[in-house]
């Protein structure tokens, strides 16, 4: 074998090597033409082997011996040739020829080709170091995709569920589809110039994964099996679905909420006039009334300026216990009374009490008007927490939908509890469509947990239904495509464009509100938020009232001490003695009259009369006329 190869080695390798020494390039470098890959690889292999044999033959004598095909004999110079082949580097027909220590080819590149209308075209390269490098621009790629999509027909799978997709019979007897999703699809198709055919999903499901087999059903399953190019419906974008199919940008944002039957209106209560204020506030008002009346009585007796002459030898005080109660209740009812305060201290308390009654009566009147004009509803369920706490009202979700998965996959204790309740309840609380959910809500003691857009659609058309509570989560509806679909980005761009033009908002208004046959009166929705006024709403006016009472008490004490000091000068007795006498009279004299020996006021006596000391039998705050 070696003998037969020697003429080839001596002739071919010497010519190739001499050519390489003369030109500095491999003689095969200029042979690069469009030839089959197998031919190029074979050519490079023979050239590499020949070059290795030439180098080994030049370095040592490789006298050969006869080899036998039946005996296990090896060639002594085989390893030398192999090692040299690993070190050779040259540019062959198949590219750069280079080997690693394992004898595997390395540091080579491949062209990435793409089949276009004009044939195969190079769009990039691949090498073992940098990987794929696409040199084709995105603009060219997008333009080609648009040309490919234009005038093509896409297979669209959907589900019959208004307002997204509905069917109607045309005059010619054919079935046509309409709805929000159909209008959206028409707007996108008009911009991208493609046609489509619609098919209804066989099992009527959006798409859920079987936990045992891992197989998807519904529209998701058809996309995975490449039976459809698009899925256009009210299908939520979820993490599990995104792992097996692709979604465009969301065209609607929504969340899970509660659909419930409107409860019966509350019958009017006999004492509904008390509703504007909470029981706590009513108790505080009564307590304030009693405290102010009592303090007004005490301050009036303590202040010397509330005692006036009613006869030749008596001083009267109009603020008796009954008069104090009457005065404060008259102010509270904004009617007034014949009792009028005289002293500064009592006027301070009265003024603050008038301010208090002004605020309270105004607040009560304003809230009473709201309560009397609103039909209060006897609502038993007002939030998802109310549903979780009870078992009388059954609740469920759409079978095989994202709402069901939300509760089953949630780590929130309330939602986990609800998921266990729905799974264990018999008969099943899961529904196959929104229409079935509405029927169960109207006929049974049932609450439906669904997506806010679908629930809003039902509430707009049935005045017996209402939406309860806020959104439990936040998600979006998107158009689904098979994994790696080249059309997803273009459709997403059109969705964003339609949103900026407010076309999607117009479609929402059209199918949710304008198409509603029943116009429910929702004007009172804003008024139903009238709540009882609690202490946190009117607590400040109680603080002001307390401060006014304290100020009046301090002023009464100042008046009492000032009058006692003046009388101590008139009576020429110690100030403390005068204070104790006056305080004793104010405490022990429980009536509204007291003895008086004066005929003129104290101020006039200081100016026109001589002050004389009081005898032990005379009352306080008295002076003696010089002419007497």
Query: What is the band of 366 on the pLDDT scale with cuts at 50, 70, 90?
Result: confident
Contact criterion met (CB below 8 Å) for 380 and 258: no
Q: Which residues pair with 228 in a beta bridge?
A: none
What does the pLDDT average to over 316-340? 83
Residue 609 φ/ψ, nearest 5 degrees:
-130, 160
Determine the Cα–Cα distance for residues 31 and 51; give it in Å rounded to an integer: 17
Angle (nearest 5°) at CA 519 between 515 and 525: 125
Listed as own residue / partner, the contacts of 419-424 with beta carbons closer than 8 Å and 24 or more positions apart are 421/388, 421/391, 421/395, 422/395, 422/396, 422/397
C-alpha distances out from residue 266 to 97, 262, 621, 626, Å: 90, 12, 64, 78
What does the pLDDT average to over 523-550? 67
Determine the Cα–Cα distance for residues 561 and 40; give it in Å rounded to an integer: 123
Query: How many other β-carbons are positioned within 10 Å of the β-carbon of residue 225?
Result: 11
Contact criterion met (CB below 8 Å) for 537 and 363: yes
- Of 383, 376, 362, 380, which is closest to residue 275 (Cα–Cα)? 376
Encoding tokens for residue 395? Answer: 């609740």
Q: Which pLDDT score is estimated for 248?
A: 94
C-alpha distances out from residue 43 to 30, 95, 376, Å: 13, 12, 93
- For 29-79, the pLDDT digits (tens) are 555 456 777 888 888 888 888 888 887 777 777 666 666 677 666 777 777
Residue 91 φ/ψ, nearest 5 degrees:
-95, 110
Alpha helix ranges (H) inside 373-487: 384-389, 402-409, 413-424, 434-443, 452-461
Task: Give the residue, 58 or 571, on which the prediction is more confident.
Answer: 58
Determine the Cα–Cα distance for residues 465 and 458; give it in Å rounded to an integer: 8
SS (H, E, C) 308-357: EECCCCEEEECCCHHHHHHHHHHHHCCCCCCCCCCCHHHHHHHHHHHHHH
Query: How many other β-carbons are positioned within 10 Å of the β-carbon of residue 608?
Result: 10
Query: What is the band of 295 on the pLDDT scale with cuts at 50, 70, 90?
Result: confident
- For 537-563, the pLDDT digits (tens) are 777 777 877 887 888 788 878 777 777
What does the pLDDT average to over 128-150? 76
Phi-psi region of 406 (alpha: psi -120 to 50; beta: other; left: phi over 0): alpha
- For 18-31, the pLDDT digits (tens) are 555 555 555 555 55
Determine the Cα–Cα distance for residues 95 and 60; give it in Å rounded to an integer: 30
What does the pLDDT average to over 372-392? 75
Show Cβ contacts of residue 179 under 8 Å, excluding neighbours closer than 6 positions: 162, 163, 164, 165, 166, 511
Contact criterion met (CB below 8 Å) for 475 and 409: no
Encoding tokens for residue 262? Answer: 């409107």
Q: Which pLDDT score is estimated for 594?
A: 55
* pLDDT greater than 70 at residue 512: yes
Q: Which pLDDT score is estimated for 6?
A: 45
Q: Find the range with the poorest average confidence among 231-240, 562-571, 583-592.
A: 583-592
Q: What is the percentage of the chain residues whose pLDDT exceeds 70?
A: 76
C-alpha distances out from residue 131 to 101, 126, 435, Å: 21, 5, 54
What does the pLDDT average to over 562-578? 74
* pLDDT greater than 50 at residue 397: yes
Q: Find the range with the poorest average confidence among 59-73, 177-191, 317-331.
A: 59-73
- For 217-234, the pLDDT digits (tens) are 999 999 999 999 999 998
Alpha helix ranges (H) inside 236-314: 239-242, 279-302
Query: How many other β-carbons are positioned within 10 Å of the β-carbon of residue 509?
Result: 12
* pLDDT greater than 60 at residue 3: no
Task: Give the residue, 514 or 610, on which the prediction is more confident.
Answer: 514
| Average pLDDT score over the chain | 78
Alpha carbon 394 to chain centroid, angstroms: 26
Task: Give the residue, 238 or 336, on which the prediction is more confident.
Answer: 238
Angle (nearest 5°) at CA 216 between 213 and 218: 140
Q: What is the DSSP string of 599-622?
A: SS-HHHHHHHS---PPPTTS-TT-
Give the torsion through C-alpha atoms of 184, 189, 195, 198, to 10 deg.
-20
Encoding tokens for residue 50? Answer: 């020949």
Encoding tokens for residue 501? Answer: 């033009």
Contact criterion met (CB below 8 Å) for 47 and 92: yes
Contact criterion met (CB below 8 Å) for 434 and 456: no
Residue 443 φ/ψ, nearest 5 degrees:
-95, -30
- Taking every pair of Cα atoms in the chain, the longest distance, rounded to a whole number of angstroms, is 172
- Of 589, 586, 611, which is closest to residue 600 (Cα–Cα)? 611
- For 428-472, the pLDDT digits (tens) are 899 988 889 999 999 888 999 988 888 888 888 888 888 888 888
Tell me: cis bond preceding 163? Omega within 30 of 0 counts: yes
Determine the Cα–Cα distance for residues 326 and 549; give it in Å rounded to an integer: 18
Encoding tokens for residue 225? Answer: 């099996």
Bridge pairing between strands 195-200 and 153-158 = parallel
For residues 91-115, one letter each, b for 16 or more C-beta atoms within 10 angstroms of the residue's C-beta and e for the rest, the string is ebbbbebebeeeeeeeeeeeebeee
Phi-psi region of 605 (alpha: psi -120 to 50; beta: other; left: phi over 0): alpha
Encoding tokens for residue 468? Answer: 């309860």
Q: Which pLDDT score is estimated for 300?
A: 83
**pTM for this entry:** 0.52
Residue 269 φ/ψ, nearest 5 degrees:
-85, 155
Burial of residue 521 (CB within 10 Å: 0-12, 13-18, 19+) is exposed
Q: Which pLDDT score is estimated for 131?
A: 79
Burial of residue 143 (CB within 10 Å: 0-12, 13-18, 19+) is exposed
């Amino acid at each position: 074998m070696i003998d037969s190869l020697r003429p080839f080695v001596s002739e071919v390798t010497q010519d190739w090597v001499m050519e390489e020494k003369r030109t500095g390039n491999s003689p095969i470098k200029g042979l690069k033409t469009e030839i089959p890959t197998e031919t190029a690889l074979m050519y490079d292999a023979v050239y590499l082997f020949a070059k290795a044999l030439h180098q080994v033959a030049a370095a040592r004598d490789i006298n050969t011996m006869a080899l036998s095909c039946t005996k296990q004999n090896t060639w002594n110079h085989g390893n030398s040739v192999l090692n040299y082949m690993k070190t050779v580097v040259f540019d062959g027909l198949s590219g750069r020829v280079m080997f690693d220590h394992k004898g595997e080819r390395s540091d080579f590149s491949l062209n990435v080709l793409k089949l276009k209308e004009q044939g195969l075209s190079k769009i990039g390269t691949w090498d073992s170091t940098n990987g794929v490098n696409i040199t084709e621009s995105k603009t060219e790629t997008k333009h080609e995709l648009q040309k490919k999509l234009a005038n093509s027909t896409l297979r669209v799978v959907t589900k019959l569920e208004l307002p997204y997709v509905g069917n109607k019979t045309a005059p010619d007897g054919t079935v046509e589809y309409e709805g929000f999703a159909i209008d959206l699809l028409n707007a996108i198709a008009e911009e991208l110039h493609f046609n489509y055919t619609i098919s209804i999903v066989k099992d009527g499901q959006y798409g859920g994964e079987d936990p045992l087999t891992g197989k998807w059903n519904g529209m998701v399953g058809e996309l995975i099996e490449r039976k459809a190019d698009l899925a256009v419906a009210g299908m939520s974008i979820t993490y599990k679905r995104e792992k097996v199919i692709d979604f465009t940008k969301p065209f609607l944002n929504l969340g899970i909420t509660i659909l419930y039957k409107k409860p019966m209106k509350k019958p009017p209560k006999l004492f509904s006039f008390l509703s504007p204020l909470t029981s706590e506030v009513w108790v505080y008002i009564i307590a304030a009334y009693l405290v102010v009346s009592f303090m007004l009585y005490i301050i009036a007796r303590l202040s010397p300026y509330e005692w006036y002459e009613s006869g030749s030898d008596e001083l009267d005080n109009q603020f008796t216990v009954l008069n104090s109660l009457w005065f404060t209740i008259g102010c509270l009812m904004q009617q007034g009374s014949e009792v009028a305060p005289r002293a500064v201290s009592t006027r301070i308390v009265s003024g603050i009490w008038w301010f208090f009654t002004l605020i309270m009566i105004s607040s009560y009147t304003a809230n009473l008007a709201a309560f009397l004009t609103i039909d209060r509803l006897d609502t038993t369920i007002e939030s998802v927490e109310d549903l979780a706490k009870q078992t009388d009202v059954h609740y469920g979700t759409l079978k095989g939908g994202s709402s069901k998965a939300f509760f089953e996959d949630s780590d929130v204790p309330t939602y986990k509890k609800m998921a266990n309740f729905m799974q264990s309840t018999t008969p099943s609380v899961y529904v196959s469509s929104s229409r079935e959910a509405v029927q169960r809500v109207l006929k049974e003691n049932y609450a439906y947990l669904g997506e806010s857009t679908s629930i809003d659609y039902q509430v707009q058309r049935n005045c017996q239904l209402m939406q309860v509570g806020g959104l439990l989560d936040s998600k979006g509806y998107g158009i689904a495509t098979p994994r790696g679909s080249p059309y997803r980005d273009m459709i997403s761009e059109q969705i964003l464009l339609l949103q900026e033009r407010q076309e999607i908002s117009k479609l929402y208004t059209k199918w949710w509100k304008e198409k509603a046959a029943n116009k429910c009166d929702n004007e009172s929705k804003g008024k139903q938020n009238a709540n009882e006024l609690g202490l946190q709403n009117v607590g400040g006016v109680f603080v002001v009232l307390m401060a006014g009472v304290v100020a009046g008490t301090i002023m009464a004490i100042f008046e009492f001490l000032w009058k006692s000091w003046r009388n101590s000068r008139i009576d020429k007795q110690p100030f403390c003695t005068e204070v104790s006498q006056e305080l004793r009279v104010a405490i022990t004299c429980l009536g509204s009259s007291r003895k008086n020996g004066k005929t003129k006021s104290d101020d006039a006596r200081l100016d026109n009369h001589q002050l004389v000391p009081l005898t032990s039998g005379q009352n306080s705050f008295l002076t003696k006329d010089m002419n007497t």
